[in-house]
Amino acid sequence: MISLKNITKTYKNTPVVKNVTLELPKGKIISLVGSNGAGKSTLLGVIARVLNPDDGQIIINERNIEDYKTRLLAQHISILKQSNHLNLKLAVKELVAFGRFPYSQGKLNTTDQEKINEALTFLELDDLKDRYVDELSGGQKQRVFLAMVVAQDTDYILLDEPLNNLDMKHSVQIMKTLQALCKQKGKTIIMVVHDINFASQYSHYIAALKSGEIKYFGKTQDIIEPKKLKDVFDIDFEILEHNNKKICNYFN
Amino acid sequence: MTAITKKMSILLLLTLGLIALFLFIGLPNNWDYALEKRSVKIVAIIVVSCAVATASVIFQTLTSNRILTPSIMGFEAVYFLFQTVIIFIYGDKTFRVINQENNFFLSILCMLLFAFVIFKLLFKKEKNNLYLLLLIGLVLGTLFQTVSSFLQLIIDPNEFLMLQGSLYASFNSINYDLLWYASGTLLLCFGVVFCFTNHLNVMLLGRDQSINLGVNYFKKTQLFLFLIAILVSVSTALVGPITFLGVLVTNLTYELFKTYKHQILIPACCMVSVVSILLAQYVVEEVFQYNSTISIIINFVGGIYFMYLLFKAKKL
């Protein structure tokens, strides 16, 4: 379980994340939603120690992340940011192999090799593994980076807008993969999603942020309500139900 | 992998061949004296070119920029200023007041002090803004260079000629003792670098990915910048400003070995730079009969190659 206690992050006197306290349950898909500038990505970055909070504590498996060795922490938590620009000639399997760095420090053993192959198969990248990453399409590239995170084999996977720039087909494909990761491998997935319907369809929990604060946190069906969503996004929502899943219509 | 091993072997053979040619061709009758002279020169060339190559590859990895060299941080400007100031103060008595060895150690001290001050200023709050560091280095470097130019303008022309000798890289008068100190220090640095080549590979992926993969990015950046500072200042104090070589040799290496692995890139780049310095030295000795300097030759070739890189990048 990840617990956040009074997390505050300020950029040049502008508080972006204000005093956030949150308990993120294990083995679930949790979506962070909110409008632009609500502090979702910053919060995610702070949890993944890519950003340093000004105040507050992050506790992973009952231990403060500051007490972890960086290498050990990388075996528990991984993050994938939204822009993964590479100006390197790197083959798919080489990039995925980097995911094993926290364990082997670059000298791959047979376990590492197995994990890499497993990750490649899991993301259906077996045919692409010898291709160069910069020659792939957006959807394929996203799968490759996801494969690297899968190879890293951490309990917690943080994703910053994993559907950014992907079309509907590839978005659904990625979400299905994340679902499988959660179900088959028991991973906890915490992600920032822009499309409220993707959050509604695929996540177990939703945390809604507004101007740096957690407005609502709870099970998905409790959060997807017209009143609450209007409060968070300042636009009107109409909620439709289909197969026990809620779909939001906000095209007014 | 085989293609890379093949290229490495060819490069190694070429390097060793050139070294042998340089050592043994046209040996005069009293060959032992000449051989000793030439060996010192060769050792200096190998040590300095490896230092420049290693520092440049690491620097380009840290900044993820392939047309920068560590000289942008202003080490050489500090060296220029120090050399100018001592001549400015002591004039033609310089060599009596400060001998070659003291000059060597004081130059290194100045450059490391400079590095230490700007690192300290910028790494205060775990915020390592590398680009700000480069900018400050660049601005201070320009300032030092301007101050040096001003001092050079008002010193005696004869003293200026004395100064000029130390402002161009030269392998023609290497102090034997200093060479040993320099080699020892640089070998130590290479040792540290080779312990962390895998970390350098990860750092190519950028800051966030490095942190994600458990590299202590902040500390590692500091360590590598510190190593670069030592490599550059020791080689500069030994033979004069030489980091301009960096752009040429690193890019040739990237072009030859299309790999991201520093285990291969660093040794390959070392060999490429040994080969290019040897060729330039050959041109200096045989074509220009010592009437030109190695800096001019390499700057000329490097400049042309740099323009080629820019035009190529524009096309893409």
H helix or E strand, kind and range, residue A63: strand A63-64
Range B68-97 average pLDDT: 85
Chain A residues with CB under 8 Å of B215 CB are 70, 101
Q: Are residues A55 and A163 in the same domain?
A: yes
Q: What pLDDT is stored for residue B150 in this prediction?
A: 92
Task: Verify whether the Cβ–Cβ distance B214 to A102 is below 8 Å.
Answer: yes
- Mean residue pLDDT across chain B: 86
Q: What pLDDT is stored for residue A194 in this prediction?
A: 87
Angle subtended at Cα A177 by Cα A174 and Cα A181, rounded to the nearest 5 degrees: 140
Using a CB–CB cutoff of 8 Å, tell me whether B205 touches chain A: yes
Q: What pLDDT is stored for residue B272 in this prediction?
A: 93
Cβ atoms of A200 and A222 within 8 Å: the answer is no
Q: How many domains does chain A have?
A: 2
Task: Verify whether the Cβ–Cβ distance B126 to A52 is below 8 Å.
Answer: yes
Task: Verify whether the Cβ–Cβ distance B213 to A101 is below 8 Å.
Answer: yes
**Chain A interface test: which of B68, B213, B254, B264 (most A C-beta within 10 Å):** B213
Domain end point (choices A138, A153, A168): A153
Q: pLDDT tens-digit profile of A145-192?
A: 989 999 998 999 999 988 887 888 888 988 998 999 899 889 999 999
**pLDDT over 70 (residue B125):** no
**pLDDT over 60 (residue B266):** yes
Q: pLDDT tens-digit profile of B185-232?
A: 989 999 999 999 999 999 988 888 888 888 888 888 888 988 998 998
Q: pLDDT tens-digit profile of B84-110?
A: 898 888 877 777 778 888 888 888 899
Task: Verify whether the Cβ–Cβ distance B258 to A87 is below 8 Å.
Answer: no
Its sign, for the CA torsion B213, B214, B217, B223, is negative
Number of residues that make up chain B = 316
Using a CB–CB cutoff of 8 Å, tell me whether A201 touches chain B: no
Domain end point (choices A153, A182, A202): A153
Range A19-43 average pLDDT: 89
What domain range is A143 assigned to?
A: 82-153
Q: What pLDDT is stored for residue A156 in this prediction?
A: 92
Q: Are residues A90 and A149 in the same domain?
A: yes
Characterize the bridge pairing of strands A55-60 and A63-64: antiparallel
Range B116-144 average pLDDT: 80
Task: Verify whether the Cβ–Cβ distance B212 to A79 is below 8 Å.
Answer: yes
Q: What pLDDT is stored for residue A246 in this prediction?
A: 85
Q: Are residues A4 and A113 in the same domain?
A: no
Out of A24-33, B217-226, B300-309, pick the least confident: B300-309
Task: Verify whether the Cβ–Cβ distance A105 to B260 is below 8 Å.
Answer: no
Task: Verify whether the Cβ–Cβ distance B215 to A105 is below 8 Å.
Answer: no
Q: What pLDDT is stored for residue A169 in this prediction?
A: 86
Q: Are residues A2 and A61 in the same domain?
A: yes
Q: What pLDDT is stored for residue B9 in this prediction?
A: 92
Q: pLDDT tens-digit profile of A235-244?
A: 888 888 888 8
Q: Are residues A70 and A6 in the same domain?
A: yes
Q: Are residues A134 and A163 in the same domain?
A: no
Name the closest residue on chain B to residue A94, using Cα atoms.
Answer: B260
Give me the percent of chain B exceeding a pLDDT of 70.
97
Q: Are residues A113 and A170 in the same domain?
A: no
Q: What pLDDT is stored for residue B274 in this prediction?
A: 93
Task: Verify whether the Cβ–Cβ distance A89 to B126 is below 8 Å.
Answer: no
Its sign, for the CA torsion A178, A83, A205, A56, is positive
Range A117-122 average pLDDT: 88
Q: Are residues A160 and A225 in the same domain?
A: yes
Using a CB–CB cutoff of 8 Å, tell me whether A176 touches chain B: no
Using a CB–CB cutoff of 8 Å, tell me whether A86 touches chain B: yes
Using a CB–CB cutoff of 8 Å, tell me whether A68 touches chain B: no
If pLDDT is split at 50, 70 and 90, which confidence band does A223 have? confident
Q: Are residues A57 and A175 in the same domain?
A: yes
Range B146-151 average pLDDT: 92
Q: What pLDDT is stored for residue B214 in this prediction?
A: 86
Q: What pLDDT is stored for residue B1 in this prediction?
A: 60
Full 3-state SS string of chain B: CHHHHHHHHHHHHHHHHHHHHHHHCCCCCCHHHHHHHHHHHHHHHHHHHHHHHHHHHHHHHHHCCCCCCHHHHCHHHHHHHHHHHHHHHHHHHHHHHCCHHHHHHHHHHHHHHHHHHHHHHHCCCCCCCHHHHHHHHHHHHHHHHHHHHHHHHHCCHHHHHHHHHHHCCCCCCCCHHHHHHHHHHHHHHHHHHHHCHHHHHHHCCCHHHHHHCCCCHHHHHHHHHHHHHHHHHHHHHHHCCCCCHHHHHHHHHHHHCCCCCHHHHHHHHHHHHHHHHHHHHHHHHHHCCCCCCHHHHHHHHHHHHHHHHHHHHHHC
Name the closest residue on chain B to residue A81, using Cα atoms.
Answer: B208
Q: Are residues A127 and A165 in the same domain?
A: no
Task: Verify whether the Cβ–Cβ distance A106 to B205 is below 8 Å.
Answer: no
Task: Tell me the shortest Cα–Cα distance from A149 to chain B, in angstroms.
Answer: 9
Task: Tell me the shortest Cα–Cα distance from B93 to chain A, in angstroms.
Answer: 53
The interface predicted TM-score (ipTM) is 0.86
Q: What pLDDT is stored for residue B66 in this prediction?
A: 83
Chain A residues with CB under 8 Å of B208 CB are 50, 79, 81
Q: Are residues A184 and A91 in the same domain?
A: no
**Chain B interface test: which of A98, A109, A116, A130 (most B C-beta within 10 Å):** A98
Q: How many cross-chain Cβ pairs, A to B, lie less than 8 Å apart?
A: 57
Task: Tell me the shortest Cα–Cα distance from B199 to chain A, in angstroms.
Answer: 8
Task: Tell me the shortest Cα–Cα distance from B46 to chain A, in angstroms.
Answer: 29
Task: Verify whether the Cβ–Cβ distance B215 to A101 is below 8 Å.
Answer: yes
If pLDDT is split at 50, 70 and 90, which confidence band does B288 have? confident
Name the closest residue on chain B to residue A108, using Cα atoms.
Answer: B198
CATH architecture label of B2-310: Orthogonal Bundle (1.10)
Task: Verify whether the Cβ–Cβ distance A90 to B260 is below 8 Å.
Answer: yes
**pLDDT over 60 (residue B316):** no
CATH assignment at residue A23? 3.40.50.300
Chain B residues with CB under 8 Å of A79 CB are 208, 212
Q: Are residues A170 and A244 in the same domain?
A: yes
Q: pLDDT tens-digit profile of B2-14?
A: 788 899 999 999 9
Task: Verify whether the Cβ–Cβ distance A74 to B213 is below 8 Å.
Answer: yes
Out of A29-38, A151-160, A187-196, B118-127, pick the least confident: B118-127
pTM to 2 decimal places: 0.87
Out of A104-118, B11-25, B283-297, pick the least confident: B283-297
